[in-house]
Amino acid sequence: AAVFQLGSADMILVILGGVFLALCLFAALHDINSLTIPNWLNLTLAGLFVPAAAFSGLPMEIIFGHVLVGLATFVIAFGLFAFRVFGGGDAKMIPAVMLWVGPTASLEFIFSMALVGGLCAIVIVLVRNTVPAVVLPGPIRAPFEENAGIPYGIAIAAGAFMASPASPILSQTLSSAGLIG
């Protein structure tokens, strides 16, 4: 009920932040199913930051910090992609998420993403070594095929959710929606 008492700028920010988080979840599910994160999805994640920043009411220095950390992450992620550490979709999704989490939540995002990514890799390797992929349901089978990659979109999305309360823009979204105090 508190959401309906918000001003229009707050309501728009709640919607944009909600769409961002929903798309992160969709990216994770898509990555599990196909081991890919589509370009349109990463562009949408990054593009939604522009109106969110405009409606956030945050000072330009803070928004500029978000943009800088997003650009720096893009350069690093591109390097990791070039050395085949990350897939192309992962290397694009990470900077898109970093735009949203910004410098204040970046370490929490990176730590959470790495932790969930490591756990995900361990689970996938254990399942690959004990369960034949053919017996797994089709929508989740791809990561368990022999020599398949790890769907890192799961870790990126988890990191986005875990870092949200520490992000200036996402914490406003969660607070306005009544999800955090």
Q: Which two tokens stand for residue 129?
A: 């070594």
Residue 163 has, within 13 A of its CA and on its CB side, a CA count of: 31
Q: How far is Cα 128 from Cα 163, in angstroms, rounded to an integer?
A: 30
The pLDDT of residue 3: 45
Q: How far is Cα 99 from Cα 88, in angstroms, rounded to an integer?
A: 18
- pLDDT exceeds cutoff 70 at 5: no
Per-residue pLDDT, averaged over 145-150, amounts to: 90
Q: Which residue stretches of the chain are H helix?
A: 8-34, 39-56, 60-82, 88-130, 138-141, 153-163, 168-176
The DSSP symbol for 86 reads S
- pLDDT exceeds cutoff 60 at 153: yes
Over its C-alpha atoms, the chain yields an Rg (Å, rounded) of 17
Per-residue pLDDT, averaged over 54-59, amounts to: 92
Confidence of residue 1 (pLDDT cuts 50, 70, 90): very low
- pLDDT exceeds cutoff 90 at 175: no
Per-residue pLDDT, averaged over 142-162, amounts to: 95
Confidence of residue 2 (pLDDT cuts 50, 70, 90): very low
